[in-house]
Copies of this chain bind each other. A is one copy, B any other.
Amino acid sequence: MSKNLTKRSEDYSKWYNELVVKADLAENSGVRGCMVIKPYGYAIWEKMQAELDRMFKETGHQNAYFPLFIPKSYFSKEASHVDGFAKECAVVTHYRLRTAADGKTIEVDPDAKLEEELIVRPTSETIIWDTYRGWIQSYRDLPLLINQWANVVRWEMRTRLFLRTAEFLWQEGHTAHATQQEAIAEAEQMMNVYADFAENFMAIPVIKGVKTANERFAGAIETYCIEALMQDGKALQAGTSHFLGQNFAKAFDVKFATKEGVQEYVWATSWGVSTRLMGALVMTHSDDNGLVLPPNLAPIQVVIVPIYKTDEQSEAISEEAKTLMAKLKKLNISVKYDDRDTHKPGFKFNEYELKGVPVRIALGPKDLENGTFEVARRDTLTKEVVANTAIVAYIQDLLEEIQTNLYDKAKSYRDSHITEVNSFDEFKEVLEGKGGFIAAHWDGTTETEEKIKELTKATIRCIALDRKEEPGKCMLTGSPSVGRVLFAKAY
Contact = CB atoms under 8 A, between A and B. Distances in A.
Interface of A: 27, 29-31, 34-39, 42-43, 45-46, 62-76, 82, 86-99, 104-108, 117-120, 127, 130-131, 134, 140, 146, 150-151, 153, 155, 167, 169, 342
7 nearest CB pairs, A to B? A34-B67, A39-B62, A37-B65, A91-B94, A95-B155, A31-B67, A93-B93
A151 to B, nearest CB: 6
Which applies to chain A's interface (DSSP): helix, strand, loop or mixed?
mixed
Nearest to A126: B30
A384 B106 CA distance: 64
Contacts of A140: 342
A97 B68 contact: no
Contacts of A153: 68
A68 B167 contact: yes
Copies per complex of this chain: 2
Contacts of A38: 64
Contact of A67 (B36, B43, B119): B36
Contacts of A130: 29-30
A69 B155 contact: no
Contacts of A86: 97, 106
Contacts of A35: 67
Given A39-B62, A43-B63, A93-B94, 18 more contacts: A29-B66, A30-B127, A31-B69, A35-B67, A36-B67, A36-B131, A39-B64, A42-B62, A45-B65, A68-B120, A86-B97, A86-B106, A87-B98, A89-B95, A93-B93, A108-B117, A150-B151, A151-B151
Contact of A90 (B74, B75, B87, B118): B118
Nearest to A165: B67
A394 B130 CA distance: 45
Contacts of A118: 31, 90
A106 B76 contact: yes
Most chain B beta carbons < 10 A, residue from A37, A82, A90, A134: A90
Given A36-B66, A68-B151, A131-B29, A95 B106 contact: no
A97 B120 CA distance: 12
